[in-house]
Chains A and B, each alone.
Chain A
């Protein structure tokens, strides 16, 4: 359940930004969570419910962008979609690949409000 740590880090970021901008609450928060980032969305939902209570995120709308995995073959440079971290290159079978997206774990933006 590292999703709990992830949500607690999101709460910290939101609290810090709200304080910095002297806002009372966050009305919406936008997250980038890659499909290869190792986050179970059910576990994240569960952790969210219990972690945002009495924080600036308590009533925030949560918008999650899931970023699909993509890799670049280190042999033939083909860029292709991946479902698993170890999907080999479909063109040449090479297993040495570089992940180009899908590992994102970011707070993209916040909308702060004064009530």
Chain B
């Protein structure tokens, strides 16, 4: 039985008491996706990236897992051979954008205020300001939060989840949505493994239960361990993007 029906019936009865237009009720069938607006804006962003061969990477993690340190090292190491742009998402402060700008890469800070995630519209507006060049790499550092950003497609080419060995190795089971929607999991701060109770194997097994296709790279963003594997992964995504089919590139851009 439709739960909305009784209210409708009741109002029809009161309509008879007030035969004018009072209490006129109409039921509208919608079946509309609540996140539909975000999803269509994400598609728009995705077409924008695809048409310009821009590799857009959405970096997601808990606060303090080392997203910004990973970016600083990556940009410093690769900026001679690649053109980068960074969109930084935090609730408050310009701190992260300032850290990125110090590497010489153009960064834009989005402060979400009370918001716990970036959404596709914020990225769309940031793109108008940043105007990234064709064949560049755009890193989007999401708000540190393993729950909310999972639901909001930004139109990215790939989503990379970062966990550090100072967190629990059961994190993928506790926050499955984020790991299920990512293509790569970076395990950061591996230089601290001797001092912490974190099993890389257990973390990987837990993440694979949630997402059997997930790839892993172990790094220390501060010491530099494993960074070449991450750079190779970026190169392979770049090549894949440049080989993407023509019809995608002919999508009209508004």
Given contacts A38-B151, A113-B24, contact A2 B116 (CB under 8 A): yes
From 63 to 109 in chain A, residues with beta carbon under 8 angstroms from any chain B beta carbon are 63, 65, 84-86, 88, 95-96, 105-109
Chain A residues lying within 8 Å of B29, measured Cβ to Cβ, are 108-109
CA distance A13 to B4 in the complex (A): 18
Determine, out of B31-39, B125-133, B159-167, B233-241, the stretch whose residues face the partner at the interface: B31-39
Given contacts A6-B35, A38-B151, contact A110 B210 (CB under 8 A): no
Chain B residues lying within 8 Å of A27, measured Cβ to Cβ, are 7, 11, 25
From 29 to 56 in chain B, residues with beta carbon under 8 angstroms from any chain A beta carbon are 29-35, 37-38
Given contacts A2-B117, A27-B11, A27-B25, contact A63 B31 (CB under 8 A): no
Q: Mark A1-41, 1 if CB is under 8 A from B, else 0.
A: 11011100110110001000101000110110000001000
Interface size on B, residues (CB 8 A): 42
Pick the residue among A17, A23, A30 that contacts B4 (CB under 8 A).
A30
B228 close to chain A: CB less than 8 A? no
Q: Is the CB of B28 within 8 A of A86?
A: no
A56 close to chain B: CB less than 8 A? no
Q: Mark B8-36, 1 if CB is under 8 A from A, else 0.
A: 10010000000001111111111111110
Q: Is the CB of B210 within 8 A of A86?
A: yes
A45 close to chain B: CB less than 8 A? no
Q: Tell me whether chain B's interface is mostly helix, strand or loop, or mixed.
A: mixed
Given contacts A85-B180, A86-B176, contact A4 B114 (CB under 8 A): yes
Q: Is the CB of B35 within 8 A of A105?
A: yes
Q: Is the CB of A110 within 8 A of B148?
A: no
CA distance A6 to B117 in the complex (A): 12
B224 close to chain A: CB less than 8 A? no
Q: Is the CB of A61 within 8 A of B210?
A: no
B79 close to chain A: CB less than 8 A? no
* Distance from B158 Cβ to chain A, minimum over Cβ atoms (Å): 20
Q: Is the CB of B28 within 8 A of A21?
A: yes
Q: Is the CB of B176 within 8 A of A13?
A: no
- Chain A residues within 8 Å of B, Cβ to Cβ: 1-2, 4-6, 9-10, 12-13, 17, 21, 23, 27-28, 30-31, 38, 61, 63, 65, 84-86, 88, 95-96, 105-115
> Which are the 7 A-B pairs with shortest beta-carbon distances?
A2-B148, A63-B3, A105-B34, A86-B210, A86-B209, A110-B28, A113-B25
Instruction: List, sorted by A's number, 24 A–B pairs whose CB atoms are closer than 8 Å.
Output: A2-B116, A2-B152, A4-B115, A4-B116, A5-B117, A5-B152, A9-B34, A12-B37, A27-B11, A28-B4, A31-B34, A38-B151, A61-B7, A88-B209, A95-B208, A109-B28, A109-B29, A110-B27, A111-B8, A111-B26, A112-B25, A113-B25, A113-B26, A115-B23
